[in-house]
Structures are given as structure tokens and as C-alpha cells.
Amino acid sequence: MFKQMSVTILTGMIVTSNVTSIEASDKEKGLLDPERIVNIAHRGASGYAPEHTMLAYEIGHKKLKADYIEIDLQMTKDGHLIAMHDETVDRTTNGKGAVIDKNLAEIKQLDAGSWFNDLYPSNAKMSYRGLKVPTLNEIFERYGKKANYYIETKSPNVYPGMEEKLLKTLAQYGLSSGKIKPGQVMIQSFSQESLQKIKYLDPNLSLVQLLEAKEIKNISKNQLYTIKSYAVGVGPSFKGLTPISSQMIREEHLLLHPYTVNEESDMHRMLDYGVTGVFTNFADRFNEVRQQHTSR
């Protein structure tokens, strides 16, 4: 039933990506290989479907063939990790209020799809109405080891215990560092403290330090050394990234995954800078651009 619905939704909406032998050979490289360029479906296929819904993940993973699905985490009052970008439910559901003030049962009453139809009428679908906010457990339940996950601890200061809960959930689904291929689970955060806590809890998980545009603009070698002590890469805003800062990062053998790169011209520019992947709402578009770039 779900599969049928996805196919109908996708018809005529997404440019089908040609998976070529170039991409195939790229996929033979490990996810942490600095020669590999990864495609991260930001909040799922959020350019085409309501962000952070199972449908957005399904499209990003199956149809657009992104290397990763990206998941922002918030935590409910009763301690469930849910996929949501904002600390409140206001923007992406028909509800109001802070996630931390709601139990999962209340979150599950909300419609997480209709806002997308109102905001993007040209991409609106009846089937988006009434989509639910997924829990991290539900996402792992569906994909298990078949997907690669790029998970962000959002507002960790608001949610004490979030990191422990995340590690426990990973373990529950056999996704702890020893049980997965390297890089299959990436943990990202703007909070250095949160990443260092995760490093302490599971030293072998692959971590990525997110940076705002103003932070990456003036990044120093010393800051990169510090990041390198706990992370395998940086995820800066592409708006602050320059050829020089990109080179500095690559010289430190850190992965470089800028967010959120949606325009073709920016994708080309990022690839020219030598990034090792991008977060994008349009993973199909990046597949095309990446392919053109690799065939040059």
C-alpha cells in the first residue's frame, strides 16, 4: 500500500536520475573515503515531500537514491526521539507548542503533511495530508541496516539525556559503531559538547561538526585541529565556504559536507571546491550534477 502510494506521488514530479557506472564505482568506495562524494537527503526528500516524514525518507532513499537520509532529532516530554527540525511543532504540523511539553501520543495526533501543501501548492498532494511525525525507532524499524543515517542532535541543551537515548536506540537496532559499516551512521551537531559526549559514549561513531556561515568564514587551523580530535568531518553552511577554507579542511583530512545546497550552480561550485558530499533537498539534482562533474 505504502509502495503504491509512493510511486503515484512520484510520477511526473521528479527527474529520474541515471545511475551510471561512474556512480556505481563511486558507491564501491567506503562512505568515509575522502574520494567519495556523498549525497545526503536533507530532512528526507524535503524538496518534494513534507520534511521529516516517512514518505520524505522513502523518496530520498528509494527513488532519489541518496546515500544518506538526514534526520534532525527532538525529544518528547516522555522521552521519545522524534524526527523534527524545530523545537516547536508550529511550522511543520497543524499543532502548536514545544515538543518538550508534549507526550508522543499528542505528537502522533498531529498532521505533519498539510503545511507542505499550503506552502508549495505546485508540489501539493492529497496524500500528504495527515502524514505523521515519525519516531527514530520507526525509521530504524523500517530501514534497519538498508539505509545510511545522518543524524543531528538538535537543541541538546533543551533535552538532557538525548545523547544517551540516541546511543541506546542505535544499539537496540544493531546500529552501534561495531555493528555497522564505517560511516553508515553519522552523528552531526552544532553543539561541540553534544558531539564530545557521544564520543565518550561510543568512541568509534563517526561525528561531524556543523558550523554556521560566520564560523566557517573565519575558521583557523587550530579550530580544525580541535574538531579533528573528535570528528571525522565538518558540515558548514555552504554560504560561508570558500576555496581556501575548503582546502584547509581537506588538508586536515576531514570530510567536508556543506549544507544545504539546492541550486545546480551552487552544487557545481561546491564540487569545484573539493567537498566530499552535500546536504540537499533535491538529491536527484545532485546525482545529476555529481555525475556531470565526475565525467569531466
Count interface residues toward ligand G3P (CB under 6 A).
10
Q: Among residues 10 and 235, whose Cβ is nearest to ligand G3P? A: 235
Q: Does 188 bind ligand G3P (CB under 6 A)?
A: yes
Cα separation, 214 vs 122, in Å, equals 34
Mark whether 42 is an active-site residue: yes
Cα separation, 116 vs 235, in Å, equals 26
Q: Among residues 10 and 37, whose Cβ is nearest to ligand G3P? A: 37
Q: Which of 48, 128, 259, 286 binds ligand G3P (CB under 6 A)?
A: 259
User: Do the Cβ atoms of 243 and 275 come closer than 8 Å?
Assistant: no
Could you say which residues in the range 225-244 bind ligand G3P, by CB under 6 A? 235
Least CB distance from residue 188 to ligand G3P, whole Å? 5
Q: Among residues 85 and 102, whose Cβ is nearest to ligand G3P? A: 85
Q: Among residues 10 and 279, whose Cβ is nearest to ligand G3P? A: 279
Q: Among residues 71 and 271, whose Cβ is nearest to ligand G3P? A: 71
Cα separation, 148 vs 119, in Å, equals 29
Could you say which residues in the range 40-99 bind ligand G3P, by CB under 6 A? 42, 72, 85
Cβ burial of 149 (10 Å; 0-12, 13-18, 19+) is buried
Cα separation, 85 vs 2, in Å, equals 24
Cα separation, 121 vs 206, in Å, equals 38
Cα separation, 29 vs 34, in Å, equals 9
- Which of 52, 61, 80, 85 is the catalytic position? 85
Task: Tell which residue, 97, 2, 26, 5, has the closest CA to residue 287.
Answer: 26
From Ca ion, ligand G3P, none, which one binds at residue 210 (CB under 5 to 8 Å depending on kind)?
A: ligand G3P
Task: Tell which residue, 248, 182, 181, has the closest CA to residue 217.
Answer: 248
Mark whether 85 is an active-site residue: yes
- Which of 42, 61, 80, 257 is the catalytic position? 42
Least CB distance from residue 262 to ligand G3P, whole Å? 11
Count interface residues toward Ca ion (CB under 5 A).
2
Beta strand pairing call for 149-153 and 68-75: parallel
User: Do the Cβ atoms of 105 and 82 come closer than 8 Å?
Assistant: no
Each residue 36-75 as x (binds Ca ion by CB under 5 A) or -, in order, gives ------------------------------------x---
Could you say which residues in the range 128-167 bind Ca ion, by CB under 5 A? 152
User: Do the Cβ atoms of 59 and 212 come closer than 8 Å?
Assistant: no
Task: Return the active site residues.
Answer: 42, 85
Residues at the interface with ligand G3P (CB under 6 A)? 42, 72, 85, 152, 188, 210, 235, 259-260, 279
